């Protein structure tokens, strides 16, 4: 079995995404496509990118608010930088899960206990799930005329599977808060099973287990704080999460306006919630290919065939390829800092 390095997975993700986009563009190209390209208003592309920047800024605000509610002071620029760095890791992992360890590590570097940092990152996902669920229910009620058109048997199965993954993740903090002892026993059994199979780390099995035992206690305590004294961080984090997703979903409408189409706000929001749910199924790294195909299938209901390929390219540039550019810059800054820390530690040992 061939093992791919991080660079290998990254290259595979980009190649897969680009291949699907090229196929979509080639199969939807017609005599009107060139006219659509030449008439596209670049001002709207700039506005779409601005909305993306604002949404990522709100993500940083959410982390700062939730950290502050647990008693930590993490500067907003630092929070935004960890969000951007996490975007790069998310491009090579199914469901974008690679961004979570990056944010946990960066919070730890900012002085946040690992248990607290993990709780913050987990509750971020929980807030995303809650907000997307509420928005999805409201939009399904408002968009009944599209239900029969969109929900084919295959799509229903895919959405059910995705909802299963989402609900399973939301149950983690629920069990941690309601049944902390049982959940801890389960997690420790899982750790004791995994660590001996990690090769070089198996020798330090005991110390890792002891550290995990301590940090799990911190994690559960932090989750309990979010439902107790730190409820403001969770509440305002939820408010910020709502605005974050609104800005994220507005990007597609702005791009459609740049193509001379109406914004189709309700339809676009509805489609993107479905896409966000489908992306939670761990099929490909960064959901590459899956996202493009889902976008094509749904937006083809409201966008002319000769225009849909252009739309997919522009939307994925703002929501995916821009992530890579921003993430690379932020990751480089973190890499340089880590080298500095390593050098300082080595210098300290030699003195």
Per this entry, what is the length of the chain?
351
**Angstrom distance (rounded) from CA 110 to CA 66:** 14
Nearest to 330 by CA among 77, 107, 158: 77
**Angstrom distance (rounded) from CA 159 to CA 165:** 10
Q: What string of pLDDT tens digits covers the 351 residues of the chain?
A: 345 556 666 777 778 788 888 888 888 888 888 888 888 999 999 999 999 999 999 999 999 999 998 889 999 999 999 999 988 887 776 655 667 888 988 999 898 888 788 888 888 888 888 888 888 878 877 776 666 666 666 666 666 666 676 666 666 666 766 776 777 777 777 767 766 655 554 445 556 666 666 666 666 666 666 766 667 878 899 999 999 999 999 999 999 999 999 998 988 998 888 888 777 766 666 667 778 888 888 898 889 888 999 999 999 999 988 988 888 888 888 888 878 777 766 666 665
Nearest to 253 by CA among 240, 266, 244: 266
Q: Classify residue 284 by burial, with Cβ atoms within 10 Å: 0-12, 13-18, 19+.
A: middle
Q: Classify residue 226 by burial, with Cβ atoms within 10 Å: 0-12, 13-18, 19+.
A: buried
Ramachandran angles phi, psi of 9, nearest 5°? -65, -40
Tell me the pTM. 0.80
**Angstrom distance (rounded) from CA 136 to CA 129:** 10
Cα–Cα distance list, 127 to 56, 146, 347 (Å):
15, 27, 43
Do 222 and 120 contact (CB within 8 A), yes or no?
yes
DSSP state of 3: P
pLDDT in tens, 185-235: 777 777 677 666 555 544 455 566 666 666 666 666 666 667 666 678 788
**Angstrom distance (rounded) from CA 63 to CA 76:** 8
For 200, other C-beta atoms within 10 Å of its C-beta total: 6
> Residue 71, Cα to own-chain centre: how many angstroms?
25
**Angstrom distance (rounded) from CA 156 to CA 193:** 36
Backbone angle region of 179, left / alpha / beta, with phi > 0 → left and psi within -120 to 50 → alpha:
beta
**Angstrom distance (rounded) from CA 44 to CA 307:** 16
**Angstrom distance (rounded) from CA 193 to CA 191:** 5
């Amino acid at each position: 079995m061939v093992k791919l390095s991080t660079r290998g997975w990254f290259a595979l993700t980009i190649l897969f995404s680009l291949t699907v986009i090229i196929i979509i563009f080639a199969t939807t190209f017609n005599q009107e496509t060139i006219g659509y390209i030449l008439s596209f208003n670049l001002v709207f592309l700039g506005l779409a990118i601005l909305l993306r920047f604002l949404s990522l800024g709100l993500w940083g605000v959410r982390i700062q608010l939730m950290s502050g509610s647990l008693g930590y002071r993490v500067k907003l620029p630092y929070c935004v930088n960890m969000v951007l760095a996490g975007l790069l890791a998310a491009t090579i992992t199914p469901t974008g899960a690679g961004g979570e360890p990056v944010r946990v590590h960066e919070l730890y570097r900012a002085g946040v206990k690992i248990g607290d940092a993990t709780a913050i990152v987990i509750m971020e996902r929980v807030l995303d799930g809650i907000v997307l669920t509420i928005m999805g229910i409201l939009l399904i009620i408002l968009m009944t005329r599209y239900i029969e058109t969109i929900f084919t048997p295959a799509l229903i199965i895919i959405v059910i599977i995705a909802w299963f993954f989402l609900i399973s993740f939301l149950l983690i903090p629920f069990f941690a808060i309601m049944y902390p002892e049982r959940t801890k026993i389960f997690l420790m059994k899982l750790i004791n099973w995994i660590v001996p199979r990690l090769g070089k780390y198996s020798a330090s099995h005991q110390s890792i287990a002891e550290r995990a035992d301590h940090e799990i206690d911190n994690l559960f305590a932090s989750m309990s704080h979010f439902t107790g004294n730190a409820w403001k961080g969770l509440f305002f984090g939820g408010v910020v999460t709502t605005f974050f997703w609104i800005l994220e979903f507005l990007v597609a409408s702005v791009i459609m306006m740049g193509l001379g189409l109406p914004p189709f706000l309700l339809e676009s929001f509805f489609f993107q919630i479905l896409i966000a749910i489908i992306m939670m199924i761990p099929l490909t790294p960064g959901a590459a290919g899956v996202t493009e195909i889902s976008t094509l299938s749904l937006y083809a209901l409201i966008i002319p065939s000769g225009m849909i390929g252009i739309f997919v390219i522009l939307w994925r540039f703002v929501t995916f390829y821009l992530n890579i550019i921003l993430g690379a810059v932020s990751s480089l800054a973190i890499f340089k800092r880590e080298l500095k820390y390593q050098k300082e530690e080595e210098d300290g040992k030699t003195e």
